């Protein structure tokens, strides 16, 4: 389920003082890399899933150090390193990521150049003139170029897990049930009682599993993008692996659909809307963000025909995306609304009517994805 807390170094204002005393491996790695040392003074930490430290070293180098914790930390590190090695050999100027300065597998640490003046895509999207069609077009190009990268045989080739928690659609594990909020349980009940949706998700998962796999970011959300000056960067490659490219496309489109849903919510919490009114407001907001999804899709499709768009890719890849990609991506975008519903429910006491209406839109898209591609911006016409 794509509900991972951001672990990239977004340039946000909620900086915390960082403590280096409990992790001497940070300065040990920096010293081994010839970058100098961080001192406690001036070192900060960004909010996120992983422990991190950002600041200037004694040599004046600005660095961002991230520790990949958790039971899957070693696997996430291996996938991020796989991307860095792939980029080093087959790098393409159309994919920009903060330069990786080194890593240490034993301590699960990675060191990046700090883009101190960058702003995260999610923060930019909060402004009307922020993450607009220009940046979305660029993001689409970067995503297509990623899907053209070769995957070395020696790199992790584990297939991506199912995009949806299919087993949870039948019954929740005991620990999930025990730790769930009331709103989460209501959301899961909404899903588990919808047999038509469950069948559609199972079909989509099976269909996606049969598709050719391409190197994919696999966690493509707006807060994984950074804007620094006139450049767009894509960060957090810890889920990099072969996957159905429709997942990345659907995730990006789903991000904007989710933002449309949030924007449609009344500012005054005392305002009561009927389900029909809520759906009407969300439909209007989806139409407002549609140009951004469309720009992303245009950039993605255009990258297939650009000279050098796949530097080491056989000529047969230099064509339009395969048939059916847009419909699968639309279905994944529809699921994204459920995914965000579940994430939001974990912080709520009750599942409101507005959240149920949002799930209803996601349901319609999943069940009739081929009819919604144009409506959400993934149509065939350029």
**Angle formed by the axes of helices 369-376 and 353-367, to 10°?**
110
pLDDT of residue 319: 56
Q: Tokens 């949030």 correspond to what residue?
A: 262
pLDDT of residue 306: 63
Cα separations (Å) of 73 from 79, 109, 216, 262?
10, 10, 19, 32
- 201's tokens: 């998700």
54: number of Cβ within 10 Å: 23
- Is residue 113 a contact partner of residue 62, using CB atoms and an 8 Å limit? yes
- 332's tokens: 């994944």
**Angle formed by the axes of helices 325-345 and 246-264, to 10°?**
50
Q: Which residue has the higher pLDDT, 168 or 164?
A: 168
What does pTM read for this prediction? 0.88
Task: Give 2-20 pLDDT, tens digit per residue.
Answer: 333 333 344 444 666 677 8
User: Per-domain residue ranges for the chain?
Assistant: 16-113, 160-212+244-376
Task: Kindly state the average pLDDT of the residues 323-331.
Answer: 93
The rounded percent of the chain whose pLDDT value lies above 70 is: 85
Task: Kindly state the average pLDDT of the residues 19-25.
Answer: 86
pLDDT of residue 355: 81
- Pick 16-113's CATH classification: 3.40.30.10, 2.130.10.10, 1.10.287.610, 3.30.200.20: 3.30.200.20
- Cα separation, 336 vs 257, in Å, equals 8
Task: Give 196-216 pLDDT, tens digit per residue.
Answer: 999 999 999 999 999 999 999
């Amino acid at each position: 389920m794509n509900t991972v807390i951001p672990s990239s170094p977004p340039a946000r204002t909620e900086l915390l003082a960082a403590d280096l005393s409990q992790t001497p491996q940070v300065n040990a790695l920096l010293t081994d890399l010839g970058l100098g040392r961080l001192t406690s003074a001036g070192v900060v930490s960004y909010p996120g899933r992983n422990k991190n430290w950002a600041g200037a070293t004694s040599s004046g180098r600005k660095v961002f150090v991230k520790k990949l914790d958790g039971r899957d930390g070693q696997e996430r590190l291996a996938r991020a390193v796989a991307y860095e090695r792939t980029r080093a050999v087959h790098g393409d100027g159309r994919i920009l990521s903060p330069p990786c300065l080194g890593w240490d597998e034993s301590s699960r640490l990675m060191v990046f150049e700090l883009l101190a003046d960058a702003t995260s895509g999610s923060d930019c999207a909060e402004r009307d003139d922020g993450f607009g069609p220009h940046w979305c077009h660029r993001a689409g190009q970067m995503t297509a170029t990623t899907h053209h990268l070769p995957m070395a045989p020696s790199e992790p080739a584990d297939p991506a897990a199912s995009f949806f928690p299919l087993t949870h659609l039948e019954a929740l594990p005991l620990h999930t049930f025990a730790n769930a909020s009331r709103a989460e349980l209501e959301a899961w009940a909404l899903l588990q009682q919808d047999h038509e949706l469950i069948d559609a998700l199972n079909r989509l998962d099976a269909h996606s599993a049969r598709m050719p796999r391409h190197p994919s970011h696999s966690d493509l959300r707006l807060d994984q993008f950074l804007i620094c000056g006139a450049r767009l960067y894509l960060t957090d490659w810890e889920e990099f692996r072969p996957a159905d490219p429709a997942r990345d496309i659907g995730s990006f489109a789903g991000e904007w659909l989710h933002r449309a849903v949030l924007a449609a919510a009344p500012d005054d919490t005392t305002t009561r809307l009927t389900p029909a009114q809520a759906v009407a407001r969300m439909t209007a907001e989806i139409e407002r963000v549609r140009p951004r999804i469309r720009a992303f899709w245009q950039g993605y499709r255009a990258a297939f025909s650009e000279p050098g768009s796949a530097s080491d890719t056989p000529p047969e890849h230099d064509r339009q995306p395969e048939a059916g990609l847009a419909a699968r991506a639309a279905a994944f975008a529809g699921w994204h609304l459920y995914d965000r519903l579940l994430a939001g429910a974990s912080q709520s006491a009750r599942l409101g009517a507005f959240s149920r209406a949002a799930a209803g839109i996601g349901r319609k898209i999943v069940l009739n994805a081929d009819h919604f591609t144009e409506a959400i911006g993934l149509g065939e016409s350029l």
